Amino acid sequence: MISTNFISATKKFSSYEYETHIPAPYIRKTFDIINEIDSAKITICGLGFYELFINGKRITKGLLAPYISNPDDILYYDEYDLTELLLKDKNAIGIMLGNGMLNCFGGTVWEMEKAVFRSAPKVALALEIVYKNGEKIVITADETFKTHPSPILFDDLRCGEIYDANKEIKGWNLPDFDDSAWENCISAETPRGETKICTAEPIVAVKKLNPVSIIKDKRVVLDEAWRHPLIKVEVPMPAEDKIGYLYDFGENSAGLFTLKIKGEKGQRISIQTGEVLNQNGDLDIRGMHFQPDAFQHRAVYTLKGEGIEEYTSTFTYYGFRYCLVSGITEEQATKDLLTYTVMSSNLQKNGDFSCSNEIVNRLQRATFNSDVSNFYYFPTDCPHREKNGWTADAALSAEQMLFNLTPENSYHVWLDNIRKAQREDGALPGIVPTSGWGFEWGNGPAWDSVLFYLPYYTWIQRGDTDIIKENAGAMVRYLNYISTKRDQMGLIHIGLGDWLPINYKTPYTPLEVTDTLVTLNLCRLAEKMFAAVDMLPQSIFAGALFDEIREDARKALILPDGVTIMGRSQTAQAMAIEFGLLEESEKQGALNVLVDLIHAADDHLDSGCLGARIILHTLAKFGYAELAYKMITRTDYPSYGHWVEKEDATTLFEDFRHPSAQPASKNHHFFGDISSWFFKHITGVKINPLDRDVKEIEISPNFIESLEHAEGYQNHLCGKLESKWVREENIIKLTVTVPEGCYGFLKLPKGYSIHDNSHNPIYRYAIKELTPGVTEYIINAD
């Protein structure tokens, strides 16, 4: 049963000017059980976030429950079975509420303060009790629920928390607590969103980290002369909070720290999180400039002075490697003071890759760490600054996340929100959820591609056609919308382009190129997806739009030599090859231009995030896997290898700016497609290579000359799919594990053949049929 009767503690809520802090409320209700229970179930929607207790026991599914959404789009409820938790006679429901998305004042850069749904935290619930005699009782939220301010004096998803332990109320959520002095709750407006039970994986603990070092007298580095132009107000950080003990946990990630301390009543402790140090070893948070200085992802805790105290934030999380702790004594600055709990959506590991090059292994681990620390119900852009569901970030990582994790169910849920955010004319915002921001800037075909890429890659790798059916209408509406955005030449240039180019002195690939060619690709993918679910009219429509755009684009974008694309960039050449602009006979010439451009850049990648996802795959497909591998693993600047070898990266970075520049994010996943490149082009694992059957497999490894061994696996729908190879003397041993029910082909690179145990060639052809089970092949160069 779902109830939409909402209550709140007050109508007042914390202001985006940071002048008024309204504490998170305690809310409680007692009730009696008079007969033997057959079943008891509660459904609850706590906005923005809630914590639920039954008779003092916390039963909340995970962090930041129920979800992060626009409540005028979707209202998420969680459901709990209370049958074994209720007591004979008196019982108590206890609730704490946080601001969450409902009052997201730390998001003024994205105009969250203008949200029409903005209000004080509120809750709706229905407790349904069925006695064994058949009698049924239903308790819903109303004005008889009691409320009192909690010790959480301030909370915001991005800013952090302020907690005063002196304001704790012992036993507040127990049945026998005396709440006669508490206020009654008040009725609250019901948001307009569709009601749903939340089926997304909860946010849970992944692992614990202990500090690897503690350094005294370190400082917080701020750029107090500059702030983001859309920050509406500045609040200086107190001077005493700018110096303290620097805790290094050795790994950049996201989650919560737990403070464990014994001290004096009234002792005030500041914990500033961050992910990068400057050249002096101080905590540099200049890259976290989207909130006022005093509220940049930190917590302030005041002790009650009663023995050992523990504190963990309730309604936020932090992205960090380092914590600067101020307000403690040298005796308190122990390794036991802080523990790091890495958290993420409860996704499972789906695959892995390793090889004899530790730089590659570190990049694979960095990609996995970035994926995990940026998945809080849906892919986010960074955990320490924005925490937004940027659509391009998710689109660019869709394939590699499905290799590494199991996000498909969460993709379904987030796509519900994406469809709700879609405007009537078909336009999409750049972030989801949003209060309305992201239509005028921050979107465009490369960002909007999330509506196509998530269903496409989930279908390809999981065989899921429901995700296509659920989003087909929205995809058609988007294609109709984007078809109206063509200029007189038939080109599209309305959004963000090849974002964050590596060489900032090199001109961007023209927006006409990226927007038009991405749209071309969306039409092509839609045509395939619609055909896969027997939506033939829609498939024909997408194919016809592809033909129209392609005809115009060929006239406008291909230069007179017939092989160079407008802008003459690595991105432009690769997109033209990959996204269907060129005829088959033209691709080799365009590839030659691409390779020349790479050599002209001294074999460095020279693109933004859009090009980086496809350039390396294009090279490998056309026989240049060694060049692509070199571009990834080289350790001079700029390169992926430089990140891990010279900059000690444990997660992927937002861009390739020089290490001496003001830091940007050090935890982004949208350059993470190198992980899928490792799987697909070193171990050669390709699922559904012809877009027709998820059980069809291709194993087409590249035996990179500098590698001694490589291995990768995927948990395929039918079982474990694995490819590994190792050099032994003058041969390569390739072992392939194909799950029962799968079929396909082994494709060897040019110049290799299969030999028998005496090294005599027995199979000189490039393609051999795969059989289920474990098969070992002896490979040798011809």
Predicted confidence (pLDDT) per residue in 132-147, tens digit: 999 999 999 999 999 9
- pLDDT value for 379: 98
CA separation for the pair 632, 672 (Å, rounded): 11
- pLDDT value for 290: 81
Order the strands of the 685-687 sheet from edge to edge: 685-687, 696-699, 743-747, 767-769
Which phi and psi angles does 393 have, rounded to 5°? -60, -45
- pLDDT value for 230: 63
- pLDDT value for 229: 65
CA separation for the pair 583, 586 (Å, rounded): 5
- pLDDT value for 638: 93
Q: How distant is the alpha carbon of residue 713 from its chain centre?
A: 22
Give the pair of three-digit tokens for residue 669. 């996943």
pLDDT digits (tens, 9 = 90+) for 694-728: 999 999 999 999 999 999 999 999 999 999 999 99
Residues 6 or more apart whose Cβ sits within 8 Å of residue 648: none
Q: Which of 430, 381, 411 is nearest to 200 (CA)?
A: 411
- Give the three-class secondary structure for 324: strand
Q: Which of 271, 386, 294 is nearest to 667 (CA)?
A: 386
CA separation for the pair 522, 467 (Å, rounded): 16
**Regions in the chain scoring below 50 on pLDDT:** none
Q: How distant is the alpha carbon of residue 137 from its chain centre?
A: 41
- pLDDT value for 404: 98
CA separation for the pair 454, 408 (Å, rounded): 8
537-571 burial code (b ≥16 CB/10 A, e <16) = ebbebbbebbeebbebbeeebbeeeebbbbbbbbb
Q: How many CB atoms lie within 10 A of CB 304?
A: 17
Which residue is associated with the tokens 């609850």? 44
CA separation for the pair 161, 98 (Å, rounded): 10
- Strands 186-188 vs 57-58: parallel, antiparallel or unpaired: unpaired
CA separation for the pair 399, 529 (Å, rounded): 16
625-633 vs 584-600: helix crossing angle, rounded to 10: 30
Q: Which of 318, 270, 313, 297 is nearest to 106 (CA)?
A: 297
- pLDDT value for 507: 64
- pLDDT value for 759: 66
